[in-house]
Structure 1
């Protein structure tokens, strides 16, 4: 009976590991899409609303789901609070927040680097230059979204199956 319970637990654990990995493959293109939507909104806020950056980022934080909402909110709060007190630049607030919160996303290093490059230009150049960098980042992220969709189609089902099969192999080796 104890052996049977162990077999069930191993099969369950292996299947769940495969499901979790498949969920990460599915989450990446969705999060990139949300990030693209956020950048479109930021572009609108800068070009038409001429909204100060902290306020624009707080507005965006209310429009995108977690974990991206937390990133935008933390950047905005850093710009409001710490930048005023310590003299931190937009770039420093942006980079510190991205480095501390990026691990909570399903996105990869390529998206992180594009997002960091954008933060280096926001607040330090003219409005037109900022808009150009936002558009450039959006183009890069659109390319990465297409790649992420391909990866999702290729590896999502494979991850689920591989998790279950690996658990079955462990069970066979144990018995």
Structure 2
């Protein structure tokens, strides 16, 4: 009886591990899509609203889900604080501190760091070009993430169940 309960727990745990990994594959393209919407909003704020950057970032944070909302709110907060750092420094510091809480990878981070290096230090048209470039790079990353999701999401679920079943068979 005790072995059956243990086997059921192992099977349940292995299945859940597979489903959690599958959820990670699904979350990455979703977060990239949210980031693309945020950059479209930033492009509008820069191009038409002529909103100061901290205000634009704060507005973006209000419409984004966590953890992205927290990153943009932190950047806006740092720009408003009296630390005296540049936009690039604040952007890089916040992204480095908070990136691990996202499901995104190095390609997306690199695109965002390049964007942060160009914001606030040049004219409106130049900033808009950099935002558009970052959006193009993120669109490429999103398509790669969607392909990866299609390829590995179902595989992760299956491996979780089958791996747990193997452990159960070896236990009994």
Task: Specify the TM-score bucket, using the shorter chain as the normaliser.
Answer: over 0.9
* TM-score, normalised with respect to structure 1: 0.96
Determine which of 137, 142, 147 is the counterpart of 1:145. 142
Residue 59 of structure 1 corresponds to 59
Q: TM-score, normalised by structure 2?
A: 0.98
Equivalences, count: 172
In structure 2, distance between residues paired with 1:32 and 1:60: 14
Return structure 1 stretches of 4+ with deviation > 4 angstroms: none
1:6 positional shift: 1.1
Return the offset for 1:86: 2.4
Q: 1:97 aligns with which of 64, 75, 94?
A: 94
Q: Which residue of 2 aligns with 1:16?
A: 16
Q: Specify every segment of 5 or more residues in structure 2 that has no aligned partner in the other structure, as ranges.
A: none
Aligned residue runs from structure 1 range 14-163, under 5 A: 14-81=14-81, 85-163=82-160
CA distance in 2, matches of 1:76, 1:12: 43
Q: Structure 1 residues 100-109 or 36-45, which shifts more?
A: 100-109
Q: Provide the secondary structure at the position in 2 that maps to 1:51.
A: coil
Structure 1: gaps of 5 or more residues? none
